[in-house]
Amino acid sequence: MSDLRNPIPSFGLPPSIDDIIQMAERALGTIPLRIARYVQGVGIAVEEMPDDETLDDLDIESAWELTGLYRGTPLTERSVSDPIRHPDLIFLYRQPILLEWIETGEDLYRLVRNVVVHEIAHHFGFSDEDIEALEQEMD
Each residue of 94-126: pLDDT tens digit? Answer: 999 999 999 999 999 999 999 998 888 877 778
> Is residue 114 in some structural domain?
yes
Q: Are 26 and 8 in contact (CB under 8 A)?
A: yes
CB 73 within 8 A of CB 82: yes
Domain assignment of residue 2, yes or no: no
Per-residue confidence band for 1, with pLDDT thresholds at 50, 70 and 90: very low
According to DSSP, residue 72 is labeled S
70 phi and psi, to 5 degrees? -95, 125
Q: What is the pTM of this model?
A: 0.79
Task: Please check whether residue 115 is in contact with residue 133, taking contact to mean a CB–CB distance below 8 angstroms.
Answer: no
Say which residue, 132 or 7, is predicted with more confidence.
132
> What CATH number did the domain enclosing 98 receive?
3.30.2010.20
Inside any domain, residue 105: yes
Alpha helices by DSSP H, listed for 1-139, are 17-28, 33-36, 52-58, 94-104, 108-124, 128-138
Q: How far is CA 3 from CA 7, 10, 17, 26, 55, in A?
A: 6, 10, 22, 15, 38
Taking only the tens place, the pLDDT of each residue in 39-98 is: 777 889 999 999 999 999 999 999 999 999 988 766 666 566 667 666 778 899 999 999
- Find the domain containing 37 and state its range: 17-75+82-138
14: left (phi over 0), alpha (psi -120 to 50) or beta: beta
pLDDT over 50 (residue 127):
yes
